[in-house]
């Protein structure tokens, strides 16, 4: 997949060579100067004249004319060097990798040193290269009949780096690729139709991860779920012919099971809304209602590949939310695993119900810090749009760590308030401890506040990805469809996690 070489070999017959260029270079220096020498110093002139654009995310392809053995050189515009960031580098690389895949090259080389600055060093650039390589190359195959013609795609990348240690570069390439592949796995899970990804299918997928990475795995079947008193989870499953699964994966990276991070992902494989049924337009796309579970499973794949020195328990409550004579109804009162009773006012507010029992079960497995991720509310889209994940917390120390990870991953999030008044709205029921839907005002906030009732005093962050889990438009690092959002954020958070001093 990747090979790293210190000395650039212009006699090597690569199909392509990827080079980064910044705006307004008076003269190429370093690695670009050596390349320019191969072209009798004409490349500088081409950039100055604008024939090769250095504008951010521009991609220009030129023939080598036999000056070097590489067939074609792909110049990637990086914009102004003073404005350059890791996120911008990822976007530019995504653009060129898409162009190369469209040209059906199977192999290419890249001059790593042409993408580095004081802001982005060689190791960061290597991470961006391999992550973008994976993300931009992603394609969900779907279920159309296939032609017999073999697909040509980029399979081999040679990275030339004169300024950074080769072993360190290769290690960064390995990490970046793991992040990209884990995100792609999450994308595929979300893109898969609900009839092909049931709770049982998701449980089997988790078992495969466990076998591959030596995780401890536990799959609770319906009888065990009933025995544990997970009435909130069971209520959502009542209308389904598909059995529910409470999926648990445990990774132990420390000698002792302490400072345990609990990752909890909503795993609703299809959501009709139940008797509070969705509209005919709103019900389409509800195969993506397990985007939180996908992000957690993608994160566990990255953890399995990179083996950080952390302890993690992943908990995924998985079922569909269907309509039948057995389905739960508005006005029902159910009892959660925690013992808290819940008045059901809206059967389409089901995600918070399954997460309630999952959060309680994560604490049962020793989770001392909790992050839940869920396609929870349309309200977060109204509040923050389609590009920002909503977040809530009961602990600023933990939230800041998740926030920093999201910034580094390029997955924006914004904190919503958790005031006592919103907690009181969730607790406002004449017949139960809580109600699951106090009204449409501040919908995303009260949904998060409901989950917070089950986190209780455990440090907790809630991530609502209803707007960010999918996209209708192709983008630099992927196609339309599932984004795999929060997979990289959670993986970075786990990798860098520092427990609260006690």
The model's pLDDT over 185-195, given as tens digits with 9 standing for 90+, comes to 999 999 999 99
Give residue 44's domain range: 2-142+154-180
Q: On the CB side of 167, how many CA atoms lie within 13 Å of its CA?
A: 0
The per-residue pLDDT for 26 is 54
- In a domain, residue 147? The reply is no
CB atoms within 10 A of CB 158: 17
The per-residue pLDDT for 502 is 66
CA-CA distance, 356 to 232, in Å (whole number)? 7
- CATH number for position 108: 3.40.220.10
CA-CA distance, 279 to 447, in Å (whole number)? 20
- In a domain, residue 217? The reply is yes
In Å, what is the CA distance from 322 to each residue of 184, 194, 269, 348? 28, 12, 10, 10
| Token pair of 20 as six digits | 């980064």
The model's pLDDT over 351-362, given as tens digits with 9 standing for 90+, comes to 999 999 999 999
Do residue 168 and residue 250 come from a single domain?
A: no
| Token pair of 297 as six digits | 């499973």
Do residue 234 and residue 174 come from a single domain?
A: no
Do residue 224 and residue 358 come from a single domain?
A: yes
Do residue 307 and residue 170 come from a single domain?
A: no
The per-residue pLDDT for 66 is 82
Task: Give the per-residue SS3 of 163-185.
Answer: CCCHHHHHHHHHHHHHHHHHHHH
The per-residue pLDDT for 221 is 98
Do residue 226 and residue 303 come from a single domain?
A: yes
Which residues, including other chains, have CB under 8 Å from residue 32's CB and lie 6 or more apart? 19, 21, 25, 43, 111, 114
CA-CA distance, 93 to 127, in Å (whole number)? 11
Burial class (CB in 10 A: 0-12, 13-18, 19+), 247: buried
Is residue 392 classed as helix, strand or coil in its secondary structure?
A: strand
CB atoms within 10 A of CB 134: 21
Do residue 278 and residue 332 come from a single domain?
A: yes
In terms of phi and psi (left: phi > 0; alpha: psi -120 to 50; beta: otherwise), the region of 206 is alpha
- CATH number for position 277: 3.40.630.10
The model's pLDDT over 463-483, given as tens digits with 9 standing for 90+, comes to 999 999 999 999 999 999 999
- In a domain, residue 353? The reply is yes
**pTM score of the predicted model:** 0.96
With beta carbons less than 8 A apart as the criterion, state whether 455 and 448 touch. no
Do residue 95 and residue 208 come from a single domain?
A: no
CA-CA distance, 141 to 59, in Å (whole number)? 26
- In a domain, residue 501? The reply is no
Q: Which of 95, 181, 352, 488 is catalytic?
A: 352
CA-CA distance, 447 to 436, in Å (whole number)? 8
CA-CA distance, 157 to 145, in Å (whole number)? 30
Q: Determine whether 278 is an active site residue.
A: yes
Do residue 454 and residue 482 come from a single domain?
A: yes
Q: Which of 278, 407, 423, 427 is catalytic?
A: 278
With beta carbons less than 8 A apart as the criterion, state whether 186 and 288 touch. no
Q: Rounded to 5, what percent of the chain is helix, strand, coil?
A: 40, 20, 40
- In a domain, residue 192? The reply is no
Domain count, the chain: 2
Identify which of 378, 404, 380 has the alpha carbon closest to the alpha carbon of residue 392: 380
- In a domain, residue 164? The reply is yes
- Angle subtended at Cα 486 by Cα 480 and Cα 492, rounded to the nearest 5 degrees: 130
Please give the order of strands across the beta sheet that includes 333-335. Answer: 333-335, 341-343, 434-435
The per-residue pLDDT for 9 is 83
Q: Determine whether 153 is an active site residue.
A: no
Do residue 159 and residue 222 come from a single domain?
A: no
Identify which of 68, 137, 138, 80 has the alpha carbon closest to the alpha carbon of residue 109: 68
Do residue 174 and residue 202 come from a single domain?
A: no
Do residue 213 and residue 167 come from a single domain?
A: no
- In a domain, residue 185? The reply is no
One digit per residue, the tens of pLDDT, for the chain of length 502 reads 899 998 888 888 899 999 999 987 555 667 788 888 888 888 878 887 888 898 999 999 998 888 888 989 999 999 999 999 999 999 999 999 999 999 989 999 999 999 999 999 999 999 999 999 999 999 998 898 887 777 778 889 999 998 888 999 999 999 999 999 999 999 999 999 999 999 999 999 999 999 999 999 999 999 999 999 999 999 999 999 999 999 999 999 999 999 999 999 999 999 999 999 999 999 999 999 999 999 999 999 999 999 999 999 999 999 999 999 999 999 999 999 999 999 999 999 999 999 999 999 999 999 999 999 999 999 999 999 999 999 999 999 999 999 999 999 999 999 999 999 999 999 999 999 999 999 999 999 999 999 999 999 999 999 999 999 999 999 999 999 999 999 999 999 999 999 987 6
Do residue 176 and residue 204 come from a single domain?
A: no
- In a domain, residue 149? The reply is no
């Amino acid at each position: 997949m990747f090979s790293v070489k210190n000395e650039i070999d212009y006699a090597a017959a690569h199909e392509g060579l990827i080079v980064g260029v910044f705006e307004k270079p008076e003269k190429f220096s370093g690695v670009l100067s050596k390349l320019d020498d191969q072209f009798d110093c004409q490349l500088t002139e081409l950039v100055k004249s604008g024939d090769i654009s250095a504008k951010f995310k521009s991609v220009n392809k030129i023939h080598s004319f036999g000056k070097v053995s590489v067939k074609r050189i792909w110049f990637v515009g990086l914009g102004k060097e003073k404005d350059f960031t890791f996120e911008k580098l990822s976007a530019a690389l995504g653009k060129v990798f898409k162009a190369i895949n469209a040209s059906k090259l199977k192999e290419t080389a890249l001059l790593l040193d042409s993408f580095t600055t004081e802001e982005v060093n060689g190791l960061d650039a290597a991470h961006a290269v391999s992550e973008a390589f994976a993300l931009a190359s992603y394609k969900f195959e779907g279920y159309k009949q296939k032609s017999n013609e073999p697909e040509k795609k980029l399979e081999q990348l040679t990275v030339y780096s004169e300024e950074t240690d080769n072993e360190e570069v290769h290690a960064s390439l390995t990490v970046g690729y793991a992040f990209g592949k884990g995100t792609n796995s999450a994308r595929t899970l979300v893109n898969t139709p609900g009839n092909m990804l049931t709770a049982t299918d998701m449980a089997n997928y988790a078992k495969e991860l466990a076998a591959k990475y030596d995780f401890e795995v536990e799959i609770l079947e319906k009888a065990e779920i009933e025995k544990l008193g997970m009435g909130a989870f069971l209520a959502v499953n009542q209308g389904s012919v598909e059995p529910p699964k409470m999926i648990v994966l445990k990774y132990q990276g420390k000698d002792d099971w302490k400072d345990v991070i609990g990752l909890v992902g909503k795993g609703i494989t299809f959501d009709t809304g139940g008797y509070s049924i969705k509209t005919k337009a709103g019900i389409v796309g509800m195969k993506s209602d397990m985007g939180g579970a996908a992000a957690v499973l993608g994160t566990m794949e990255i953890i399995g590949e990179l083996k950080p020195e952390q302890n993690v328990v992943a908990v995924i409550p998985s079922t569909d939310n269907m309509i039948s004579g057995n389905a739960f109804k508005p006005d029902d009162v159910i009892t959660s695993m925690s013992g808290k009773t819940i008045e059901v006012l809206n059967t389409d507010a089901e995600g918070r119900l399954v997460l309630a029992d999952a959060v309680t079960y994560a604490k049962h497995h020793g989770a001392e810090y909790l992050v839940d991720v869920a396609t929870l509310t349309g309200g977060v889209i109204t509040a923050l749009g389609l590009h920002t994940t909503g977040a809530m917390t009961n602990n600023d120390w933990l939230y800041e760590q998740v926030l920093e990870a999201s910034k580094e991953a390029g997955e924006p999030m914004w904190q919503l308030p958790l005031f006592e008044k919103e907690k009181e709205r969730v607790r406002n029921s004449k017949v139960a401890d809580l109600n699951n839907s106090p009204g449409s005002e501040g919908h995303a906030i009260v949904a998060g506040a409901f989950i917070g009732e089950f986190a209780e005093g455990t440090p907790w962050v809630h991530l609502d990805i209803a707007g960010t889990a999918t996209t209708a438009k192709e983008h630099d690092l992927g196609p339309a469809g599932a984004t795999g959002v929060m997979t990289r954020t959670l993986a970075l958070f786990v990798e860098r996690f520092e427990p609260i001093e006690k």
